[in-house]
């Protein structure tokens, strides 16, 4: 009995001692767990920060690449737009030039008819009533033709008394003139025409050589003859 009681007493003491040591072991374990959690959390934060930095860096690189692509596409658009605008203007200008060429060709073919009308008007002098009626009818046709030319932008040149210009006139004859200075137009031989400011047909003209040209030529010939006579006289004296 006594031994059993002693054993129970020892067991109770051991339990008491184990109970006294248990709180210390538990708190130590909890501290380790907390410490491990903090380390794990710190490592996780470091990993997340690194990933965030990499993501930001990749986004910056991608943004820079997109900006370059945008600038390239913008420059291409500007060039294409400028090329198209130049092409449109060139096409419009070519069409206008072609239109002017076609109109010029047609009107140039009509101008000799106008010349014939004008020559006939200057030469015909109707005397009888029937001839005058015919002349009036003829003049009406001529006026209609002139009006059509005006509507197409054709205008006649006024050249007599103007200074000769090879861009507008074609000199057929040159003669001395007391009335006009040198290189001024004395007479119009064939009328010239403008088409919307451009030359449709050059005017055929007679150009002044200026006053005194003929006299000067006569004086030169006279001096030549006199020199010949003096030369003959000197030769006879030597003989």
Return the domain boundaries, the chain. Answer: 109-125+136-230
Please enumerate, as own/partner, the contacts of 170-174 that have beta carbons within 8 Å and a separation of 24 or more: 170/202, 170/203, 170/204, 170/205, 171/205, 171/206, 171/207, 172/204, 172/205, 172/206, 173/206, 173/207, 174/206, 174/207, 174/208, 174/209
Q: Please give the helix or strand (H or E) that residue 191 lies within, else none.
A: none
Q: Please give the helix or strand (H or E) that residue 200 lies within, else none.
A: strand 198-201
N residues, the chain: 239
3-class DSSP state of 127: coil
Q: Starting at the earlier edge strand, list the strands of the sheet with 185-190.
A: 169-175, 203-208, 185-190
Q: Mean pLDDT in each 10-residue stretch from start to end of the chain (239 residues)?
A: 52 50 54 64 71 81 87 90 90 84 86 86 74 79 88 90 92 90 91 89 92 51 49 41
What residues contact residue 188 under an 8 Å CB cut-off, 6+ apart? 159, 160, 203, 204, 205, 206
pLDDT at 31: 62
* Nearest residue to 109 via CA among 168, 171, 152: 152
- Please identify which residue in the block is written with the tokens 């059993």: 4
Q: What is the largest CA-CA distance in the chain?
A: 203
* Nearest residue to 196 via CA among 137, 229, 154: 154
For the domain bounded by 109-125+136-230, which CATH number is listed?
A: 2.30.22.10
Name residue 116's beta-bridge partners: none
Give CA–CA dist 80/64, Å, rounded: 24
pLDDT at 239: 32
Token pair belonging to 110:
């009509």
Query: How would DSSP label each residue in 148-176?
Result: HHHHTTEEE---TTSBP-TTTEEEEEEE-
Token pair belonging to 174:
């040159």
- In this structure, the strands spanning 169-175 and 203-208 are parallel
């Amino acid at each position: 009995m006594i031994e059993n009681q002693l054993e129970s007493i020892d067991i109770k003491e051991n339990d008491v001692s184990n109970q006294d040591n248990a709180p210390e072991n538990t708190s130590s374990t909890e501290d380790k767990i907390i410490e491990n959690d903090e380390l794990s959390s710190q490592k996780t934060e470091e990993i997340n920060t690194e990933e965030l930095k990499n993501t930001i860096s990749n986004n910056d690189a991608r943004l820079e690449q997109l900006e370059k692509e945008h600038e390239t596409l913008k420059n291409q658009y500007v060039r294409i737009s400028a090329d198209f605008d130049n092409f449109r203007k060139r096409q419009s200008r070519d069409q206008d030039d072609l239109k002017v060429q076609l109109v010029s060709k047609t009107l140039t073919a009509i101008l000799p008819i106008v010349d014939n009308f004008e020559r006939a008007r200057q030469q015909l002098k109707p005397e009888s009533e029937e001839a005058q009626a015919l002349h009036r009818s003829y003049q009406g046709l001529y006026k209609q033709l002139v009006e059509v030319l005006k509507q197409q932008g054709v205008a006649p040149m006024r050249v007599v008394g103007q200074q000769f210009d090879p861009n507008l006139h074609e000199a057929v004859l040159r003669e001395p003139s007391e009335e006009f200075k040198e290189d001024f137009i004395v007479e119009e031989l064939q009328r010239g025409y403008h088409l919307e400011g451009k030359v449709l047909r050059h005017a055929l003209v007679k150009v002044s050589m200026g006053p005194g040209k003929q006299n000067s030529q006569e004086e030169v010939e006279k001096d030549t003859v006199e020199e010949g006579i003096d030369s003959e006289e000197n030769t006879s004296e030597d003989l």
